[in-house]
A and B are shown apart, each in its own frame.
Chain A
C-alpha cells in the first residue's frame, strides 16, 4: 500500500528538467491593474518536499488530473499549507468515464461542475492510510461526504475507487485511486 510509484519519481524529474530547460516562458509582466496572480505554486523551491500539486504534476499517470486542477483553478489552493488529502485518479481512471465526459468538463462553462468534482477528491486533513478505517466518513472540500470501506486490506472509496498507492507530500497525502469519485446528486 505504501509503495511509491516509480513513475511519480520519473515524472518529477521530467518536470524539473522542463523547468530549467524551458525557453518558452517569456511571459510578460501583468499589467499594473491585472488581477493578482501567483499563489504558492509559483514559489521557487527545489529543496523542500513536494506539495500535493507537485506530486501530481510529477506523475505521468496524472496528466488529466493536473490539467483539470489547473482548469478548475485549484492549483494555488492545493499549494497552500493544507493539510490536504488528495485522492488522485489516474489517467486510466478518467478514461473509464463515459466518452467525452472529461472534455466536456474542461470547457469554461463547466468550470463549476469540474470544481465540484475535483473538490470532492480533496479533504482538508492529512490522512495516512492507517487513519482510513472501515465505515468512516470524510467531509470533502466541496461539502459532500465520502465513505471509506476497507476490504481485504484494500481501502475503497464510496465502493467505487480503490487506493492503489500513496505518496507523502509536504502538505499532506496523495492517495492514487483507480476511479473518479462523483459527488452525490443534489437533493
Chain B
C-alpha cells in the first residue's frame, strides 16, 4: 500500500513536463552580483581552456563577458595564426605542421605559489606540447613539443616559483629504438614519462630539463606542492592495470590506482649530477620574437631521462581509490586531495604523514620497482560519500575545499581538516573542472567558484544537435554557495584559472614600437615601400596607415610566381590593427597590430587584376582602403611596377595590348 503511494508520487514527479526549477535557482540579488556596468571593469580575468578548439579564451568575472580568444594550438584564420608566414613555425612539430590540438589545462605563473601575472601555460593533449602565453600581449609566445609522450594530459601544472611546468603522458607508449611492437605486448613494451620543462626566470623561455621514466600507466592531472611540500609534485595515475583495450572495463579492475609523488628537487639534483641517460629524440621548440615579429622553429634531438631505479628517494606511489582525476594540494601544502572519478570517497593525504612514511619505509610493496606507501599511513582522512564522480578540487583561503562531481552534477564544499561536507549546489549540467580565483595557489582570492559544465541541454536557446558548453558562477563569500550567473563558453572548457584584473591590466601592451620593428621585410614608412623580384618570388614591402596601402597598384606579377605581401602597420595607436586580404588567395587574412609586420603568401592561378583590401575596420575611409594587383601570363613582358596615388606610364603598353581584342569585339 505504501509502495503504491510512493510509486504514484514518483510517477508524477518523473514526468518531465513539470515547470523546471533550475532557471529559478538563483537568489534575488544574483543579477546585481554579476552586473558590471557599461564602461566598468570586471574584477577578475578568467583564462579558460578551449578544449577541442585548441585555443584559450579570456573572460571577465563576474560578468562572464568574453574578451578574447587567444589562438594557441589551432590555426585561427581570423588572426592569421598559422596562416601568416610569421606564425606558421609556431605550429611546427616533429610531425611537421599540425593545424589543431586540444587544450585542456591552464597554469598561470606563480612566485612563492602566488599568482604573479606574467604568463599562462596551456597543454596540447593530442600532439604533446606546452604553450606559453605572454600576459602582456595575450598572444602565444612559445610552444615546446614533448618527446616520449603521447597525449599530454597531465600538464602544464607549475612549481611554486615557476621553476618548471610538467608534462605527464596520458598514454604510455613504446619508447626507445623499437617502436613497432604488437599492441598486446603493452605490459612489456609500453612506458610512461613525466617531463619537467624549465622556465627561465626572466624571459619565461622553456627548455626540456629532464624526464622521469615511469611504469606504463596513464597520467591524468597533477599539482605541485606548496610551502613545506613545495619540493614535491603529485601526479594522479589511472590504468595501473596496464590495460590496452576496453579501458572502460579493464582500467577499473583495481580498487586503488595511484598518486605518484615526485621529489622534484631531488630529481633536479640527480639531473645536475648527470644521473640520467641522454636519449635521442626529436621535438620542436618554437619561439615567437616580438622584435622580428616572426617565429622560429628549431628541431631538437636529445633529452635527459632519469630512471627511478638509478635515483633512489625520487619517486613514490600512494594508493588512491579508483581512477583518480584531480590531485590537488591545498593552500598550505599539507593536504593532497585525490578525486577518484569512480570512487565513493575523497581521500585526503597528509604531507607530514607522507614524509614520515617515507622515513619509516612504511611501504605496501612495490609497483614496477617503485615503493608504494601504505594508504593508511599517508592518509589524513576520507570525505565519506561526498557525491558521485568526484573530479577536481580547488580551495578558498578559509580552510574549505570545493570538489566537482560529474555524475551527480554538483559542487560540494567541505572542510579540509574535519572532512565534513558543508554545502552542495547543483550545476547545469555535468560539471568537469571548477575554478576558484587563485584556487590552486597558496593565496586564493576566493569570492567565486566557477563550474565548467559539459552539458547544457535545455539551458539555452537550442542550436541544433551541438550545444554550447557553459561556465556557472557561484558566490562563495557566504556559508552557502549561491548561483549568480551562467554563460556559454568557447570550445570545451576543461580547467581554467582566474586572477585579479589589477595584476594584468596595468601591463597590457598597447602597440609595438615601429622603431623596434626588426622584421627583415618591414617597410618603416611609406617611402620604404617597394616591390622586388627574387627568382620566382615577388616581395611586396607594403605599408598600411589610415586609410591606404602603399603600394596600392602593383603590376608585373607573372603566373608561376608567389607573391609575398609583407604588410607593416604604420599606426602607433592602440586598438588600430589593419587587416589584409587578396581575392582568391588560398589563405587567411592578415591581422596586423600597430607597429607590426605580417606576411601573406599568395600564388595566383589565373591572369587578371585582383583586388585587395583592409579587412579590419580602421577609420571612416576603411572602405576606401583598397588596391589592385595585376597578374600577367608567365611569358609576359609587363614590367614590375608599383605605386600609390599616381598612374604610372607603365600602364599604357598594357592597355595597348588589350586594344586589338577590343577592336575585334566591336566588329
Interface residues of A (CB under 8 A from B): 15, 18-20, 22, 24-25, 27, 29-30, 32-45, 53, 57, 63-64, 66-67, 69-71, 75-77, 80-83, 102-103, 106, 112, 115, 119, 124-127, 131, 136-137, 139, 141-143, 145
Q: Does B400 interact with chain A (Cβ within 8 Å)? A: no
Question: Chain B's interface: helix, strand, loop or mixed, by majority?
Answer: loop
- B162 contacts partner chain A, Cβ-Cβ < 8 Å: no
Query: Which of A66, A69, A77, A102 makes the CB contact (< 8 A) with B388?
Result: A77
How far is the CB of B466 from the nearest CB of chain A, in Å?
14
Give the CA-CA distance A40 to B431 in the complex, in Å: 12
Contact pick for A41, options B14, B27, B255, B322, CB 8 Å: B14
- A53 to B425, alpha carbons, bound, how many Å? 22
Contact present for B27 and A33 (CB under 8 Å): yes
Which residues of B have CB within 8 Å of A63? 3, 7
- How many angstroms from the CA of A36 to the CA of B451 in the assembled complex? 15
B14–A125 CB distance below 8 A: no
Closest to B30 in A: A32
- The residues of A that contact B246 with a CB separation of less than 8 Å are 131
B407 near A32: Cβ-Cβ < 8 Å: no
Pairwise interchain contact B11-A45, C-beta atoms closer than 8 A: no
Chain A's nearest CB lies how many Å from the CB of B65?
24
Which chain B positions have C-beta within 8 A of A64?
A: 3, 7
Proximity bits, B457-496, A CB within 8 Å = 1, else 0 = 1100000000000000000000000010000000000000
Q: Residue B458 contacts which of A19, A44, A112, A131 (CB distance < 8 angstroms)?
A: A44
Residue pairs across A and B with Cβ atoms less than 8 A apart, 14 shown, are: A15-B14, A22-B15, A32-B24, A32-B26, A32-B27, A33-B28, A36-B21, A40-B409, A66-B7, A66-B11, A80-B408, A80-B409, A106-B6, A125-B249
B3, B22, B455: the one contacting A103 at CB < 8 Å is B3
Q: How many A-B residue pairs have CB under 8 A?
A: 161
Residues of B within 8 A of A71 (CB): 6, 10
Inter-chain contact B252/A125, CB cutoff 8 Å: yes
What are the residues of chain A within 8 A of B317 when measuring CB–CB?
Answer: none
Listed in ascending order, the chain B residues whose CB lies under 8 Å from chain A are 2-3, 6-7, 9-22, 24-28, 246, 248-249, 252-253, 255, 321-322, 341-345, 385, 388-389, 406-409, 425-426, 428-430, 454-455, 457-458, 483
Shortest CB distance A78–B (Å): 9
Given contacts A40-B457, A127-B249, contact A27 B3 (CB under 8 A): no
The distance in angstroms between the C-alpha atoms of A115 and B425, with both chains bound, is 19
Q: How far is the CA of A127 from the CA of B343 in the complex (A)?
A: 18
Chain A residues near B13 (CB, 8 Å)? Answer: 70
- CB neighbours (8 Å) of B24 from chain A are 29-30, 32, 34
Contacting A36 at CB < 8 Å: which of B389, B426, B458?
B426
A81 near B454: Cβ-Cβ < 8 Å? yes
Whether the Cβ atoms of B28 and A22 lie closer than 8 Å is no
Listed from nearest, the 6 A-B pairs whose CB atoms lie closest are: A143-B344, A36-B25, A37-B21, A70-B10, A38-B22, A36-B426
* B454 lies within 8 A of A36 (CB): no
CB distance from A139 to the nearest CB of B (A): 6
List the A side residues contacting B17 at CB < 8 Å: 19-20, 22, 25, 44
A68–B343 CA distance with the chains assembled, in angstroms: 22
Q: How far is the CB of A5 from chain B (nearest CB, A)?
A: 18
- Take A15-B14, A19-B15, A125-B252 as given contacts and tell me if A38 and B20 are in contact as well, using a CB distance cutoff of 8 Å: yes
Query: A139 and B248: CB pair below 8 A?
Result: no
CA of A18 to CA of B345 in the docked complex: distance in angstroms? 39
**Closest beta carbon of chain A to B84's beta carbon, Å:** 39
Q: What is the bound-complex CA distance between A113 and B353, given in angstroms?
A: 33
Is the pair B19, A29 in contact by a Cβ cutoff of 8 Å?
yes
Partner of B248, one of A18, A80, A83, A145: A83
Instruction: Please indicate which of the listed interface residues B252, B407, B409 has the most CB atoms of chain A within 10 Å of its own CB.
Output: B407
Determine the distance from Cα of A6 to Cα of B597 in the docked complex, in whole angstroms: 70
Instruction: Tell me which residues across on chain B come within 8 A of A33, comparing CB atoms.
Output: 27-28
Query: Does B407 lie within 8 Å of A80, measured CB to CB?
Result: yes
Residue pair B7, A27 in contact (C-beta under 8 Å): no
Min distance, Cβ B500 to any Cβ of chain A, angstroms: 28
| B25 contacts A34, C-beta separation under 8 Å | yes
Given contacts A32-B27, A67-B10, A131-B249, contact A39 B426 (CB under 8 A): yes
Give the chain B neighbours of A27 by CB distance below 8 A.
18-19
For residue B407, which residues in chain A have a CB less than 8 angstroms away from its CB? 77, 80, 82, 124, 141
CB contacts (< 8 Å) of B344 on chain A: these are: 119, 141-143
Instruction: Provide the bound-state CA to CA distance between A66 and B4, in Å.
Output: 11
- Beyond the given pairs A34-B24, A125-B249, 11 more chain A to chain B contacts, judged by CB atoms under 8 angstroms and listed by A's residue number, are A15-B14, A15-B15, A18-B15, A44-B17, A45-B16, A57-B11, A71-B10, A76-B408, A81-B430, A124-B342, A125-B252
For B341, what are the chain A residues with a Cβ–Cβ distance below 8 Å? 124
| Cβ-defined partner of B406 (8 Å) among A19, A80, A131 | A80
